[in-house]
A and B are shown apart, each in its own frame.
Chain A
Amino acid sequence: MPAVQETVEQVRSIDVDQYKYGFETLIETERAPKGLSEDIVRFISAKKDEPAWMLEWRLDAYRRWLTMEEPTWARVDYPKIPYDELYYYAAPKAFVAPKSLDDVDPEILKTYEKLGIPLREQEILAGVQRPEGASRVAVDAVFDSVSVATTFKEELKKAGVIFMPISEAVREHPELVRKYLGSVVPVTDNFFATLNSAVFSDGSFVYVPPGVRCPMELSTYFRINERNTGQFERTLIIADKGSYVSYLEGCTAPRRDENQLHAAVVELIALDDAEIKYSTVQNWYPGDSEGRGGIYNFVTKRGDCRGARSKISWTQVETGSAITWKYPSCILRGDGSRGEFYSIAISNGRQQVDSGTKMIHLGKNTTSRIISKGIAAGRSDNTYRGLVSAHRKATGARNFTNCDSLLIGSHCGAHTVPYIEAKNASAVFEHEATTSKISEDMLFYCMQRGLSEEEAVALVVNGFVKDVLQHLPMEFAVEAQKLISISLEGSVG
């Protein structure tokens, strides 16, 4: 069955306000008291059994955060977030770090099954045969604030790859964590990153040793379940000299009437000749058609091409969240390093997206490429905001940017805000941008051939985003294509 056809069938099976992942898992949770204070930061740190230096790092961030103001420059509009009313830590009750999947609460495992991202190890444990050559993905599942299961640990260990919850890495690999944590996104970077530094609960840690090509895709699945809980995950990935790793991140949350805060920080470090590929499919609950509920997604993602000839590539499919504020960026420090950003950002209903990237060229002969596809439907607003800059010493810097926006209907908005700064004469920056509306004539042409209006929109949109989809790992690309149609459901007519 062609993917488009399949997509449309999926769309049919759901109606507008029915968010596919809107189920709640009934498990007992343990929460920290409401609000934020030094005591809460100490509480979180103690829960994680952290060393003293980690607690100091958090407290330092917290004190700094108290002096900071929430940024207002993005083209998004939302009521003030009551930081004192939030819970900053929630964990499945009586949580003891699991030794194996047997120790994981079956309710949580069920949740992941419902998400359609089964922990692959379950299959292996159950003796399920997998077809020859099927790709394998190691998964780290984060439930509210705690990492509940990491699969394929042993096999990764053989290759020398460290893939574990960051809370564990703090205890087991303090030398690596201390060296790299906050080295790309400093504690003081911005309001949300600083907040994350103070209260981050869990997330993934990856270290790939020199010359190692990570034998499988690594993946994290985040899910916010608990009411009024912020999720502040922290991801740190280090690719040592000449290594390669591909990392996938998927996100969902059950539907709720109130807004939930999500403020993550992701730091990537690529040393000489290393390559990191980071892919995200973000499908947090977007709120209902009137804009009630939904996730506030304020995320700081940054990669540092620290070594010569290193490469970092971000691919994102953003379909969820009431508000998305996210600019995965690359600092091209090493000579000859390369940064890439491929993005599909879809907004429907009352969603607001302000997303883009920064490519900071510091080293010589650094190159970057930005392909951004924004699709706005319903009454949503979709902004691309990007910066391409070349430092004085970044001779031979090159960038190519292509930003295309597609409008569906006449009540949505698409905006492109590119900043370009070249401080040296040899830099070559190219920028292309288009804005188009799905034309009636195009839809009519498809319908005359037998496609329904929904099928026609899905086909045209899939064509529009194709340049980006092909950069996603195969398994994600199929899921992403489905998500795209689901999120555009009800956008025509």
Chain B
Amino acid sequence: MSLLEIKNLQVSVEDDRQILRGVNLTVNPGEVHAIMGPNGSGKSTLAHVLSGKDGYAVTGGEVLLDGADLLAMEPDERAAAGLFLAFQYPMEIPGVATMTFLRTAMNAQRKKRGEAELSTPEFMKRVREEAAKLSIDPEMLRRPVNVGFSGGEKKRNEVLQMALLQPKLAVLDETDSGLDIDALKIAAEGVNRLRSPERGMIVITHYQRLLDHIVPDIVHVFFNGRIVRTGGKELAHELEAKGYADYEQEVAA
């Protein structure tokens, strides 16, 4: 069975403007898909709709995660079912230590799945291990969630959460934005470590450069609210060379 099936998904925002115009996408376990497209093409909207953010109206189509109706679930239920979104702009939560946040999130998901909560030593052990792999200073974990974090720290914190929550499907929304090349490498290495035969990933990006570090199995070109072309990783290089101009002409024509 496919991990994720998106069938003819159509989505509008509240003023009735249509953003997604029939998206079809199938992700199998173990696959890494890249979605590339220009600004305003609807890439981030897709990520938001999959994770259940308010403010969008699904007007048609369906989405199945492991065969279950994803769109019928609340955002927290989707998370517990194994969907993870790495945010383009991670939110700051003043006064809440990152460590507390991580633990609350892990236990909330475990509880929803009917699993026992992690003991304190077990939790600490996991956090320390994963944080070390991402070169995260333990001091950072005592600071409030994302407050005063640099761009690189915020994105590493997203990857840390992903590593701890072990999702079935991870959606990475513009994980490269705002990162210098060193920070990009650390984040990408973190993501690569999480590639596994059971896990699917959707990497949303504007630029090819992230895909030099997280090499996708399949590349989709997203334009004007739908996938207009699908190919192998070489498609990303073609886009880098030629830009999206061809697709603009297609739409105009």
Are A463 and B144 touching (Cβ within 8 A)?
A: yes
Q: Are A440 and B75 closer than 8 Å at their CB atoms?
A: no
Stretch at the interface among B22-30, B91-99, B221-229: B91-99
Q: State whether A460 touches B109 (Cβ < 8 A).
A: no
Interface contact A445-B95, CB-CB below 8 Å: no
A448 and B75 contact, CB distance less than 8 A? yes
Within 8 Å CB of A441, what residues of B? 91
B117 on the interface (CB 8 Å rule)?
yes
Q: Which residue, of A5, A442, A451, A453, has the highest number of chain B Cβ atoms within 10 A?
A: A451
Report B91 CB to chain A, min CB distance, Å. Answer: 4
Pick from A122-130, A250-258, A464-472 the stretch touching chain B.
Answer: A464-472
Interface status of B16 (Cβ within 8 A of chain A): no
Give the chain A neighbours of B53 by CB distance below 8 A. Answer: 444
Q: Verify if B76 is at the interface (C-beta below 8 Å from A).
A: yes
Residue of B nearest to A439 (CB): B91
Residues of B within 8 Å of A4, CB to CB, are: 100, 104
B residues 178-232 near A (Cβ < 8 Å) are none
B75, B90, B93: which contacts A447 (Cβ < 8 A)?
A: B75
A contact residues around B165 at 8 Å (CB): 449-450
A445 touches B94 (CB 8 A): no
Q: Does A420 lie at the interface of the complex (its beta carbon under 8 Å from any beta carbon of B)?
A: no
Cβ-closest chain A residue relative to B147:
A463
Q: How far is the CA of A440 from the CA of B79 in the complex (A)?
A: 17
CB atoms of B91 and A445 under 8 A apart: yes
A52 at the B interface (CB under 8 A) = no
Measured between C-beta atoms, what is the minimum distance from B105 to chain A in Å? 4
Complex CA–CA separation, A448 to B80 (angstroms): 9
CB contacts under 8 Å to B, within A418-471, are 439-442, 444-453, 455, 459-460, 462-467
Point out the residues of chain A lying under 8 angstroms from B75, CB to CB: 444, 447-448
Most buried by B among A447, A450, A462: A450
Interface size on A, residues (CB 8 A): 27
Judge whether A450 and B94 touch: CB under 8 Å: no
> Which chain A residue lies CB-closest to B53?
A444
> Judging by beta carbons under 8 Å apart, are A2 and B96 in contact?
no
Known contacts: A1-B117, A444-B54, A450-B79. The answer to whether A463 contacts B93 by CB under 8 A is yes
Q: Give Cα distance in the complex from A50 to B161, angstroms.
A: 66
Closest residue on chain A to residue B105 by CB atoms: A449
Q: For residues 172 through 192 of chain A, which have their beta carbon under 8 Å from a beta carbon of chain B? A: none
Are the C-beta atoms of A463 and B54 separated by less than 8 Å?
A: no
Measured between beta carbons, the chain A residues less than 8 angstroms from B54 are 440, 444
Q: Closest B-chain residue to A460, C-beta based?
A: B93
> Complex formed: what's the CA distance from A451 to B109 in Å?
7
Q: Is the CB of B175 closer than 8 A to any CB of chain A?
A: no
Q: Contacts A450-B165, A463-B144 known; A445 to B90 CB distance under 8 Å?
A: yes
Q: CB within 8 Å of A: which of B98-127?
A: 100-101, 103-109, 112, 117
Q: Flag whether B74 is at the interface (Cβ < 8 A).
A: yes
> Chain A residues with Cβ under 8 A from B74's Cβ?
447, 452-453
Is B87 on the interface with A (CB-CB < 8 A)?
yes
Contacts of B107 in A (CB 8 A): 1-2, 5
Q: Which residue of chain B lies nearest to A465 when distances are taken between CB atoms in the complex? A: B95
Of the A-B pairs whose beta carbons lie under 8 Å apart in the complex, a sample of 25, sorted by A's number, is: A1-B117, A439-B91, A440-B54, A446-B93, A446-B105, A447-B75, A447-B76, A448-B51, A448-B75, A448-B76, A448-B78, A448-B84, A449-B105, A450-B76, A450-B80, A450-B112, A450-B165, A451-B104, A451-B108, A452-B74, A453-B74, A455-B108, A459-B100, A462-B95, A466-B96
| A residues with CB within 8 A of B | 1-2, 4-5, 439-442, 444-453, 455, 459-460, 462-467
For the A-B complex with A2-B100, A449-B79, A450-B108 known, give 20 more contacts whose Cβ atoms are closer than 8 Å. A1-B107, A4-B104, A5-B104, A5-B108, A5-B117, A445-B90, A445-B93, A447-B52, A447-B79, A448-B51, A448-B76, A449-B161, A450-B76, A451-B108, A452-B74, A455-B76, A459-B93, A460-B93, A460-B96, A463-B144
